[in-house]
Amino acid sequence: MTEAERQAQVKSQIDAVLAGDWSIGKPGLSVLVRLGVVELYKSSRGSTDTIGTPITSLTSFEIASISKSLTATVVMQLVERQILALTDPITHWLPMLAADWSSIQLRHLLSHSSGIPEFFKNKPHREVDGLTNAQLVQRLVDNPVLDFVPGANSSYSNTNYVLLAEVAAAATGQSFTDLMRRGVFEPCGMNLSWLKGESPPVGSVLALNQAVSPLTYGVDILTLGAFGLMSTVDDMARFLDAWRQGRLVSSESMRQMTTVQSSELLNRPGEYYGFGWTLPSPITTPSVYEHAGRVAGYVGIVHVELGQSLQLIVLSNSGNTGLSQLYKILSVLQSYYPAT
């Protein structure tokens, strides 16, 4: 099979995955596949809302936990500027936290090795409705319980990345929103991306959750760092380009971020973590890194296979349907472009 034939097969099979009923008002997704700088596949399906506004590559979605890759980038920028150090105790920057949390270092937060529990865990959704970073920090002050000794194990916890956003703000005296805008959005040209609490950029169109609501789980979660970031597939491609080209962080920071920094995640068997990227293997430096995200009907992934410079970006507002299609597309790519 020639490369042209292989690419034609990939396009045909992704089209088959996305075949179906996309009648007006149904949620959908936006897909971008690239080989290096070559755009292999780009298409959108479905609606942003019940009146049938079509999803395009310029449509913004809540990218959920993919936000962590951008948050980690902001933190590593501050490490490079020597404002932060990976070995800083969290209590140095957030002294209101329990004194015995001084053994938790920033590297533990970045790699989900802190032992700090997931703030979503076993909580009615109404308990996180309107929850801000400051309010979450106060909850941790009031209930300083850890799941395990910091560094002794690893468990994926959104709380880690909310705290990293708070640390970055405390260390610089700037809001996390400003740090993200100046450190990532502006240098990447991500003009249709924003964080919750900001006014959306002029001209942006948000794909509503299941095409009916901007809420997640029916509530408005305002915590930043772990999620709360809106973006498009085109903007996420700009982020990926800038990140991979070393325009956001140094090659050494990139190496650390895509090197296994954790043990196998207790609550995600088969997954490991670097700093802001999920890694599928305990090998020190895997050939694949990615980050998926899911908050109610919003699902997505940014996936990079280094050997062939294969990149997949999918953002969706269609919940389980989008999730199923996402992994079917990934399976098609892996069958034609296996990791090397």
- Among residues 10, 14, 102, the alpha carbon closest in space to that of 325 is found at 14
pLDDT of 255-312, one tens digit each? 999 999 999 999 999 999 999 999 999 988 889 999 999 998 999 999 999 988 999 9
- Among residues 224, 244, 252, the alpha carbon closest in space to that of 303 is found at 244
% of the chain surpassing 70 pLDDT: 100
What is the spatial distance between Cα 23 and Cα 7, in angstroms, rounded to a whole number? 28
pLDDT of 68-100, one tens digit each? 999 999 999 999 999 999 999 999 999 999 999
Give the residues across from 199 on adjacent strands.
none
pLDDT band at 339 (very low <50, low <70, confident <90, very high): confident
pLDDT at 314 over 90: yes
pLDDT of residue 122: 67
pLDDT of residue 123: 73
pLDDT of 8-55, one tens digit each? 999 999 999 999 889 899 999 999 999 988 999 999 999 999 999 999
Average confidence (pLDDT) over 196-205: 94
Q: Are strands 29-35 and 310-316 parallel, antiparallel or unpaired?
A: antiparallel
Residue 205 Cα to chain centre, angstroms: 20
Q: Please, what is the average pLDDT of the chain? A: 95
Average confidence (pLDDT) over 318-338: 95
Domains along the sequence of the chain with CATH: 3-336 (3.40.710.10)
pLDDT of 123-161, one tens digit each? 778 888 999 999 999 999 999 999 999 999 999 999 999
Q: Which of 13-17, 318-322, 335-339 has the lowest mean pLDDT?
A: 335-339
End-to-end CA distance of the chain: 18
